[in-house]
Structure 1
């Protein structure tokens, strides 16, 4: 029968959250900012990930004009 759709979706969200947390920790953002982003991702897994994806700290690779 296999894995249920909900279980697969939950696994994908977990993987995305872990990836986001790793990227937050490795970013050049301040420690306070990192803590807030990690807490947001942990408390609200899907919404926190989407918020980070759209507005999260970047590691300095982005060029700003």
Structure 2
């Protein structure tokens, strides 16, 4: 599969795993549920989706800030 990425001109650092991670993260960012991501990735168990999820640091900081504001 890596050969396909090279043939597309993407170079090093691209793999099936990185493609699936991007796919899953973008689905979540667009508001789709974890269950939908699970089904589209073809996983039987929800906990199998975790390795493919990547939360941008900005979103992480915003979520923490919102939690902090709610507790004050």
Task: Please classify the TM superposition score into its range, dividing by the shorter chain length.
Answer: 0.3 to 0.5
If the length of structure 2 is used for normalisation, what is the TM-score? 0.32
If the length of structure 1 is used for normalisation, what is the TM-score? 0.34
Could you say which structure has the larger radius of gyration? Answer: 2
Q: Which structure ranks higher in relative contact order (CA pairs < 8 Å, sequence separation ≥ 6)?
A: 1
